[in-house]
A and B are shown apart, each in its own frame.
Chain A
Amino acid sequence: MKEIVILSGKGGTGKTSLVGSLACLAENKILVDCDVDAADLHLLLDPQARSQNEFRSGVKAKVVSDRCSGCGVCVDLCQFEAISLSHVAQINSLRCEGCGVCAHFCPEQAIILEENYCGNWFISDTKYGPLVHAQLFAGEENSGKLVSFIKRQARELAEETGADLILIDGAPGIGCPVIASLASVDMVLAVTEPSQSGWHDLERVLDLAAHFRLQSFVCINKWDLYPEMAQTIEASCAQRGVEVLGRIPFDPIVVACQIQGIPVVCNEQSPAAAAIRQIWQDLRTR
């Protein structure tokens, strides 16, 4: 079984549109949306939830007001500026990291730790195969843990069903959800766009993949918006020994398909779709 994660560094370069299309093209796979705080893959794949489950992780501190003497010990100990005092201690739960230090040292035992319900996760059926996805509640932390969790679910499902491939839509950036999505993958496909920003962010994502000794491939989306930059990116990839699998042209049909809620490869006329088919032909044999 192979695991491929689609990343980009910079947001909005076309990860989800590409994964939606690869979902149509690849056979016998499990799909995973690891962009758990702004998940969009479901908008293309029309999933029917088979199961919905709560994701609980970590704890949040809570003050039992009638036990609190207002001594302020917790305020001084908290490294996250999550506690303030107005007669009794008040906890800003969005700042609370759940370290439990306040509860441990409270002389009145007035702070309790409650398990944190921070999102939902789903196993769904789509026309293109099972999709494991999640929604972290707005403003929550622990996105890395949720990513690790749904990836584990996907792996179990893949073993049960004998899938050959796990195809993962990653988050933008290079931080905790991205690092979590890299665990145990076989390769990274980085989607970039021919701009200074796209290139800058691609370099950081390729550095990250290299840091974890992962093999990367690149594709350049909307390459014809700035062909010289596409060339610069290709040269820079060649220099670091990363193969550029393909270029996808700017194509308004991509947006039209997104509005219809279908992957772009479903459109026979789309030049972008033709390029994506070619990229998949190449990638599947790696």
Chain B
Amino acid sequence: MQIAVASGKGGTGKTIISTSLALCAPGPVQYLDCDVEEPNGHIFLKPDLTSRERCTVIVPQILEEKCTYCGKCRDICRFNAITLFAKTIMTFPEMCHSCLGCFQVCSEGAIVRSEREIGVLEAGMAGNISFVHGRMRVGEAMGVPLLKAVKKKADQEALVIIDAPPGTSCPFVEAISDADYVILVTEPTPFGLHDLKLAVEVLVNFSKSCGVIINRADLGDARVEQWCQQQKIPVLLKIPFDRKVAEGYARGQTLVKIRPDLRPFLQALIQKVSA
């Protein structure tokens, strides 16, 4: 069972919800932080990170002594990662999408595998939660291969909680693509509603079941809830604004530590969406 916690809009409370869901899970549980650009789950769960792997993608390296400058590799590359001037050939590894087209077309054996590091994958235990996150290298543009590597660690035997990145483009889609249920965390503001609608549009395309948590539920208006009702999307939980939560969150405390009374609600929520 995989539950993804996503939002569209950033800063609505994905991480505070997903970390506490992991803490409330009944059996074996795994937390995958799929926001590889800005992973924050470790701040709250404080895992003991015991493994660390470099995450790399394959990029071409050209052996000039074998290259005949035929230009086939440049022609197949749709990402402008290979440029050819008369008798000089250059690669731009940061433009490369690792499609391996250039390796396939080179008939001279002049292209060999090199790699570009896109980030690191770290894992360990946080109490009884198996914790995995990816940290994208600063300056790297493509987070999706690292996100895929984090998802590959998913434990089939455990309840997997996925903390998804904000937005609605490719990293978001990749994060939710294998989820059995998606919890969308929003806030009752025009920004929250606008981005919630975009996220729901994607989930409908994927025929994903989803429900909504309204965070800071009293700092805004009723339009988010009305819209959810119209769309028949269940509102799973409403959490009012509470300075104590804001302060505890700021210090890196988990929601269930600050508000232990929410634990039964989160447990019930897991049960409901797992059913």
Contact = CB atoms under 8 A, between A and B. Distances in A.
B10 A211 contact: no
Interface in B9-67: 9-12, 15, 35, 37-38, 40, 43
B251 A141 contact: no
Interface string A66-102: 0000000000010110000000000000100111110
A197 interface: yes
B263 interface: no
A100 B172 CA distance: 24
Contact of A97 (B99, B104, B194): B99
B104 A10 contact: no
Nearest to A259: B221
A201 B40 contact: yes
B141 interface: yes
Nearest to A201: B38
A172 B38 contact: yes
Given A40-B9, A175-B136, A197 B168 contact: no
B141 A175 contact: yes
A196 B42 CA distance: 10
A144 B219 CA distance: 33
B61 to A, nearest CB: 17
A279 B219 CA distance: 25
Interface residues of A, number: 61
Interface stretch (A47-55, A132-140, A156-164, A240-248): A132-140
A105 B37 contact: no
Given A99-B78, A104-B105, A208-B138, A141 B170 contact: yes
Contact of B173 (A94, A144, A261): A94
Contacts of B143: 173, 175-176
Contacts of B187: 12
Interface string B107-150: 00000000000000000000000000000101111110000000
B99 A79 contact: yes
A70 to B, nearest CB: 21
A207 interface: yes
A25 interface: no
B250 interface: yes
Interface string B71-106: 000001011000000000000000001111100110
A270 B202 CA distance: 37
A114 to B, nearest CB: 13
A280 B246 CA distance: 27
A37 B220 CA distance: 23
Interface of B is mostly: loop
Interface in A220-244: 222, 225-226, 229
A59 interface: yes
A130 interface: no
Contacts of B98: 79
Contacts of A173: 35, 37-38, 143, 165-167
Contacts of B168: 37-38, 136, 138-139
B195 interface: yes
A255 B170 CA distance: 29
A236 to B, nearest CB: 15
B264 interface: no
Nearest to B200: A138
Contacts of A12: 9-12, 187
Nearest to A59: B78
Contacts of A261: 190
A174 B35 CA distance: 11
Nearest to B189: A258
Interface in A159-193: 171-179, 193
Contact of A174 (B37, B76, B166): B37
A9 interface: yes
Contacts of A40: 9, 190-191, 194-195
Contacts of B7: 11
Given A141-B170, A143-B169, A204 B38 contact: yes
8 contacts: A38-B167, A98-B78, A136-B169, A139-B202, A140-B169, A197-B249, A198-B250, A204-B38
Sort A-B residue pairs by CB-CB distance and give the 8 closest, nearest first.
Answer: A11-B10, A12-B11, A99-B99, A173-B37, A195-B250, A226-B250, A176-B141, A196-B252
